[in-house]
Amino acid sequence: MTPEFLIIHQQAQPHVAHIALNRPKELNALNLQLMTELRDALRALDEDEQVRVIVLSGNEKAFAAGADIRQMAGRTAMDMYNVDQFSTWDAIKKIKKPLIAAVSGFALGGGCELAMLCDMIVASETAKFGQPEIKIGVMPGAGGTQRLTRAVGKALAMEMVLTGKFITADEAWKAGLINRVVPVELYLEEAFRLAAEIAQLSPLAVKMAKESVLRAFDSTLDEGLHFERKNFYLLFASEDQKEGMQAFLEKRAPVFTGK
């Protein structure tokens, strides 16, 4: 079924897919339907052999201004429990291919959390990041207190979560939340440039490297090192390892096939 709130380009560039959130009137507020469509689109692209990297964007004014407040406002705790909206987030966390968030304008609440669920963030100078849930009587619920704190440290995370203040792209970059800041007319181009750089590498190595970096957040150092080593060994079962090392020795560019 064609999604209502997403624009999807399966090959925006060779091996790079692009999903744009498309609920502009509501600043891409993340309602349940949008999140379900996003989960389904990401799963399909994750299984698509032609796709190696996925860029996720909003539009110039907003990446996403958070969960849909209108949809949540009247809900009871039991409604929230039964709706289980975080199952879509859990599914997105399992996507194996690299996700690059291209952020312009507002990335607030669930929008900031969605950007942080991606593996890298490229932002335009106009981007604003924030967890303003505290101002509407709640708190972050999709990873804001955890991923933000891991990314920027306790001091700034506490301030953002407890006061709801926004930070600029430049502040986010200095705090280590995002990878780079570029002029607004270049933010998508820069995200695609980064995606293309990764898309020419071995997709197997890239997926296992992503999985291993993410493991650093969920394990002790020893467990993480063990996990890394297993993936390192496993890559020697791939044709891409043979090709990559042979190409180096023959002083030519490798051709990776993902096998």
Residues that bind ligand CO8 (CB under 6 A): 26-27, 29-30, 35, 65-70, 85, 106, 108-110, 132-133, 136, 140-142
* Catalytic status, residue 113: yes
Strands 6-13 and 16-21: antiparallel
Q: Which of 28, 202 has the CB closer to ligand CO8?
A: 28
Q: What angle do CA 218, 86, 167 make, to 5 degrees?
A: 75
Task: State yes or no: is 199 an active-site residue.
Answer: no
Rounded to an integer, what distance in angstroms lies between the CA atom of residue 129 and that of residue 73?
22
Q: Going by C-beta distance under 8 Å and a sequence separation of 6 or more, which residues neighbour residue 26?
A: 65, 68, 70
Q: Which is nearer to ligand CO8, 12 or 34 (CB)?
A: 34
Q: How far is the CB of 216 from ligand CO8 (least distance, A)?
A: 24
Q: Tell me if residue 176 is catalytic.
A: no
C-beta of 51 vs 121, nearer to ligand CO8: 121
Pair 130, 111: CB distance under 8 Å: no
User: Which residue number, 141 or 254, has a Cβ lying nearer to ligand CO8?
Assistant: 141
Residue nearest to ligand CO8 (CB): 109
The verdict on whether 110 is a catalytic residue reads yes
Cβ at position 34, least distance to ligand CO8 in Å: 8
How is residue 30 annotated by DSSP?
Answer: B
- Which pair of structure tokens corresponds to residue 156? 């700034």
Q: How far is the CB of 165 from ligand CO8 (least distance, A)?
A: 12
Which distant-in-sequence residues (6+ apart) come within 8 Å of 92 by Cβ? 38, 39, 42, 99, 117
Active-site annotation, residues:
67, 110, 113, 133
